[in-house]
Amino acid sequence: MEKLISKIAFYGSPYEYSLFLEGSQELEAEIFRIEENPLETPCDLLVWGHMLPDFDSAGIVRSTNSGPDNVAVISHGPYPLSGAPCPVDPTSDTYNFQWLSDTTLAKYIVRLVEDQQNADFWYNTMHKRLIILLEDEINYASYIIPLIIDELERRTLSLMPSQSACTRLDKIHRERPILLVAANYDQVVKYLNLYSDRTVGIISSLGFPMAGKNNLDAGFALIDYVKGLQWDIPVVIISSQQDKKQEIVRRNAAFLHKNSPDLLSHLRNEMLDYFGFGDFIFRMPGDSKSEVARARNLKELHECLSWIPLPSFIYHAQKRHFSNWLGVHGYLEAAESIRPIPAEQGEQARTELVNILKSLCS
């Protein structure tokens, strides 16, 4: 059953509460501030506005059987003496983030909590596409998550005609791809075992916990694991280890420098070009992956399909690129209808796909 956030309790100072309210204006949830007994307050999400040296949100949540369904901590610091917790704790329904310069982080955290707790339902009933972010540092997660969710929402609406604000919000809720955040290797492998056939991309740091220990090169194991899957899932590695770039690229993943002042714009470009959020780029199979055509919208995709070389069509159909491109742009029913089309049937499969797109364009 779908579980949306409709009741949010905030536990923190009036100033922190004002930041949260400012950043959550687009939410339809009831939001209220509490001053005592936060874990005894029934709500869909408890937002904790500060963090103390001995504070352990995951431990506190695991110790209670009542109160909030999820807990999110948004803090300026300081962090616990044991070190900063991971953004999404894999052992409890707790989330940890850092206030940066943009208060809309509040809205995106609520969206993320909904994604995490509804992923299985949305995958099985609505056939949504997914992006996986593997990041165990609070500051970078707080920096990147708003960009990713904002881009997902923009791409869902990009091929659609102008609509009212209410219709747009409803469409974003129903059709926007899911963002799942993992904090270690085992967690992202679990997600891929469940959802790899509809995962359109992975964004990951190079170093993260693996087999219970921090591993500065764990991203290489992740790349190799993904490349061994049946589906073509692009991987973007974000790291400050510039000397590892050549090896990352050699393994057919993209590299972005973590400390680049243009990190967010570069990440957006990767999502547009390689995750299917931008133009559909027709490529030939083989090592060169040379570009043969580009479609900016449904009409151009329909036109290109009628003449592109058959090997290019078969390559994209086998990798389910057509289905995923439609899926991330909000055409979930059409995306599911073309998934069963057998690519090995060649021209017959092309004709069937052209007819489906023709009905969407009319």
| Report for 64-78, 242-256, 313-327: range of highest mean pLDDT | 242-256
Length of the chain: 362
Q: Tell whether the model's pLDDT for residue 293 goes beyond 60.
A: yes
User: Would you kindly state where each structural domain of the chain is located, as residue ranges?
Assistant: 1-106, 128-278, 280-361
Are 8 and 43 in contact by the 8 Å Cβ rule? The answer is yes
pLDDT in tens, 175-219: 788 999 998 999 999 999 999 999 999 999 999 999 888 899 999
Model-wide pTM > 0.85: yes
Q: Tell whether the model's pLDDT for residue 81 goes beyond 50.
A: no
Q: Tell whether the model's pLDDT for residue 242 goes beyond 70.
A: yes
Q: Tell whether the model's pLDDT for residue 166 goes beyond 60.
A: no
User: What's the pLDDT score for residue 58?
Assistant: 55
Are 320 and 349 in contact by the 8 Å Cβ rule? The answer is no
pLDDT (average), residues 302-311: 92
| CATH fold of 1-106 | Rossmann fold (3.40.50)
Same fold, 1-106 and 128-278: yes
More confident residue, 17 or 92: 17
Structure-token pair, residue 173? 């809720």
pLDDT (average), residues 14-37: 90
Q: Tell whether the model's pLDDT for residue 98 goes beyond 90.
A: no
pLDDT (average), residues 54-75: 67
Strand partners, 8: 31, 45
Q: What percent of the chain has pLDDT over 90?
A: 38
Cα dihedral 304/310/311/313 (nearest 10): 40
Q: Tell whether the model's pLDDT for residue 162 goes beyond 60.
A: no
Direct distance between the N- and C-terminal alpha carbons of the chain, in angstroms, rounded to an integer: 34
Largest Cα–Cα separation, the chain:
67
Mean pLDDT of the chain: 85
pLDDT (average), residues 89-104: 80
User: What's the pLDDT score for residue 41?
Assistant: 85
User: What's the pLDDT score for residue 307?
Assistant: 92
Strand partners, 10: 33, 47
Q: Give 243: exposed, middle or buried? Use CB within 10 Å, 0-12, 13-18, 19+.
A: exposed
**Among 19-28, 90-99, 177-186, 232-241, where is mean pLDDT lowest?**
90-99
- Binning pLDDT at 50, 70 and 90, where does residue 66 land? low
| Report for 21-30, 88-97, 282-291, 321-330: range of highest mean pLDDT | 21-30
User: 321-328 and 138-158 are packed helices; what angle lies between their axes, rounded to 10 degrees?
Assistant: 90
SS3 per residue for the chain: CCCCCCEEEEECCHHHHHHHHHHCCCCCCEEEEECCCHHHCCCCEEEECCCCCCCCHHHHHHCCCCCCCCEEEEECCCCCCCCCCCCECCCCCEEEEECCCCCCHHHHHHHHHHHHHHHHHHHHHHCCCEEEEECCCHHHHHHHHHHHHHHHHHHHHHCCCCCCHHHHHHHHHHHCCEEEEECCHHHHHHHHHHHHHHEEEEEEECCEEECCEEECCHHHHHHHHHHCCCCCCCEEEEECCHHHHHHHHHCCCEEEECCCCCHHHHHHHHHHHHCCCCCEEEECCCCCCCEEEEECCHHHHHHHHCCCCHHHHHHHHHCCHHHHHHHHCCCHHHHHHHCCCCHHHCHHHHHHHHHHHHHHHC
pLDDT in tens, 110-161: 999 999 999 999 999 988 999 999 998 888 888 889 989 988 888 776 665 5
Q: Are strands 291-295 and 280-283 parallel, antiparallel or unpaired?
A: antiparallel
pLDDT (average), residues 251-260: 92
CA distance linking residue 129 with residue 174, whole number of Å: 11
| CATH fold of 128-278 | Rossmann fold (3.40.50)
Q: Tell whether the model's pLDDT for residue 22 goes beyond 50.
A: yes
pLDDT in tens, 10-21: 988 888 899 999
